[in-house]
Amino acid sequence: MNNCLFCKIVNNQIPCHKVYDDENVLAFLDIDPLAKGHIVVIPKKHAENILDLDDENLVNLFLAIKKITQHLKNKLNPDGFNIGINMRKYAGQAVEHLHAHILPRFKGDGGGSIHSIVHCPPKEKLENILLQVAFVD
């Protein structure tokens, strides 16, 4: 993509603080970190979101996330991690190139869990929702 910020980073048109680089994946420090060691992990192949990336590159992305998380665990010794993907504008995706955030968490850092992102519980019964989303009958 010509105007994609992350594609420009992949193509060395924009500098980054690179922490991991292989044939398929690039990871760098977030330019506006929420925690020490906050890393952005991207596939080198452009895909707007997780549904647009082919399975092989998706596997490569998640294997890299695992490797980077283990490395951060060894180097920073955090108390935990949040790993997340914002998909599309209304979920907070600021760059239209698939990316995952790895956030090391430290006791007393003031952050929350994935459950603190949205506060809009459905009014429908779970059985009705299940009928809409289940893969099987």
Residues labelled catalytic: 99
DSSP 108: T
Q: Which residue has the tokens 């952050």?
A: 111
The answer to whether 4 and 27 have CB atoms below 8 angstroms apart is no
Mark residue 103 as left, alpha or beta (left: phi above 0; alpha: psi -120 to 50; beta: remaining).
beta
If we measure between CA atoms, which residue out of 23, 111, 88, 89 comes closest to residue 61?
23
SS3 at position 132: helix
